Amino acid sequence: MFQNGFSPRRVVVTGMGIACPLGLGVEHVWKRMLAGESGIGSIQSFDTTTLPAKIAGQIPTGVKADGRLDINEWIPVKDQKKMDRFIQFALVAAAEAVEDSGWVPPDEEARCRTGVMIGSGIGGLETIHEAAQLAVSGKAKRISPFFIPSALINLASGQVSIKYGFKGPNHSVVTACATGVHALGDAARLISLGDAEVMVAGGAEAAVCELGVAGFCAARALSTAFNDTPAAASRPWDEGRDGFVMGEGAGVLVLEELEHAKARGAKIYAEVIGYGMSGDAYHITAPAEGHEGAFRAMKAALASANITPADIQYVNAHGTSTPLGDDLELEAVERLFGDDARNVAMSSTKSAIGHLLGAAGAVEGIFSILAIRDKVAPPTLNLEKPSRESAIDRVALQAQPRNINIALSNSFGFGGTNASIVFRAAP
């Protein structure tokens, strides 16, 4: 986890929770993903008539027993108005992750050694939209006292800590689409450095709303050519790709110091062995030439893990399905792997669920860990004709059994922020 020979405490993953366009529940979502199902559909939650993009990945509604979301099953009605949907998603994913980990701090000292770091790229956008409408119609006085705590990004961490009594470091990451990886990596480092024994970490996003879609449309970032065939819209590396598809949801992981996890007999999914970051210092939305920032983030992650590219069997790509970004990331990964490129599999799970922005890195971290657990690379859907050939197997259309022991996951964000994280099979 650290460079320069510093020997830190080891960090493992002991719990995972997910709410995404393929539904709720890690096993349910993973099964659907390996089966090649798509969570992308037409937007029903608001009128898209005037918008060029009319599709997104939204969490399916319905009962929990079917792997669907009815928020009334999770959060009392009177509390729902106190939190934007991104916070609600965080609570849903955190509930699964915490239960899965079996971690219940036995005393005050243990509560104080358990922290939360759940970020978001955008936060309570829909809540801000609603409050702004009151303001422009001269009703600013009618704005709810819950407006600010509902919209603030760190309130995801705040609400989770309040629900469970986790009194350790309470922190939040805001780095656009790199948020999820930064949250996992930073939380793992807090444990390594001794600030906590357990961190509940991840990302949440609920920007599939009128302002969110309109904003990304204006930036010409979204797919608009597949409004009638939503499941075909997210097609990383395919020559027909024309932008990303927005997704919503949350991914939350319970990270824990290795000896702490062993001492309580916790189930261990994987170890966080590497983490690297970089900045492009180039452009507000476009990646730098050759995605050299991504290259440096990956290189730093490998250095901190003290491994070489030959040690990695699977890469979960940022792969958003944008014309520019996908091939640049591919170029950077090829450059990193060199002759080892032919031995690695790389897929983009965004092909099935869209781009969950600040939640992407967290849910993709979960997919990377499951790829290690089950020795299978999840597919890149819709990759029918790659825009360019590569020695790297991009797991087109169907999941592939692979002997995966170490996986790397990438996330890059607007502003030129890049983060990579490395997981290894449980020690």
Catalytic residues: 177, 318, 355
Comparing CA positions, the residue from 187, 47, 218 lying closest to residue 117 is 187
Helices and strands of the chain, counted as H and E runs: 14, 15
Q: Which residues contact 303 (CB under 8 A, 6 or more apart)?
A: 3, 274, 276
Q: Which amino acid is at 371?
A: A
Task: Give the residue with the Cβ less far from other proteins, 76 or 265.
Answer: 76
Task: List the structure tokens of 51.
Answer: 């918008």
Give the span between the Cα atoms of 89 and 81, in whole angstroms. 14
DSSP 319-340: ----HHHHHHHHHHHHHHHGGG
Write the CA distances from 154 to 61, 172, 203, 248, 362, integer angstroms. Answer: 26, 5, 11, 18, 16
What's the closest the beta carbon of residue 72 comes to other proteins, in angstroms? 11
Shortest distance in whole angstroms from residue 82 CB to other proteins: 8
Interface region with other proteins, contact rule CB under 8 A, candidates 70-78, 91-99, 303-311, 350-358: 70-78
Nearest to other proteins of 138, 145 (CB atom): 145
Q: Could you tell me if 153 and 174 are in contact, meaning their C-beta atoms sit under 8 angstroms apart?
A: yes
In this chain, which of 7, 49, 65, 77 binds other proteins, going by CB under 8 A? Answer: 77
- Of all helices (H) and strands (E), which one includes residue 262? helix 258-263
Produce one character per residue of 137-148: b if its CB has 16 or more CB atoms within 10 Å, e if not.
eeeeeeeeeebe
Closest approach of other proteins to the CB of residue 376, in Å: 44
Compute how many residues bind other proteins; rule: CB under 8 A: 10
Query: According to CB under 8 A, which residues from 118 to 147 bind other proteins?
Result: 142, 144-146
CA dist 274 and 376 (Å) reads 21
Contact string 24-63 vs other proteins (x = CB under 8 A): ----------------------------------------
Please say which residue, 54 or 82, places its beta carbon nearer to other proteins. Answer: 82
Task: Quote the least distance from Cβ 144 to other proteins, whole Å.
Answer: 6
User: If you search the block for the tokens 């955008």, which residue do you land on?
Assistant: 122
Residues 78-107 that bind other proteins (CB under 8 A): 78-79, 82
CB of 191 to other proteins, least distance (A): 33
User: Cβ closer to other proteins: 106 or 145?
Assistant: 145
Q: Which of the ranges 73-81, 182-190, 234-242, 247-255 carries the binding residues for other proteins, by CB under 8 A? A: 73-81
Site map for other proteins, 141-180, x if CB under 8 A?
Answer: -x-xxx--x-------------------------------
Distance in angstroms (rounded) separating the CA atoms of residues 296 and 185: 16
Q: Which is nearer to other proteins, 144 or 400 (CB)?
A: 144
- List residues binding other proteins (CB under 8 A): 76-79, 82, 142, 144-146, 149
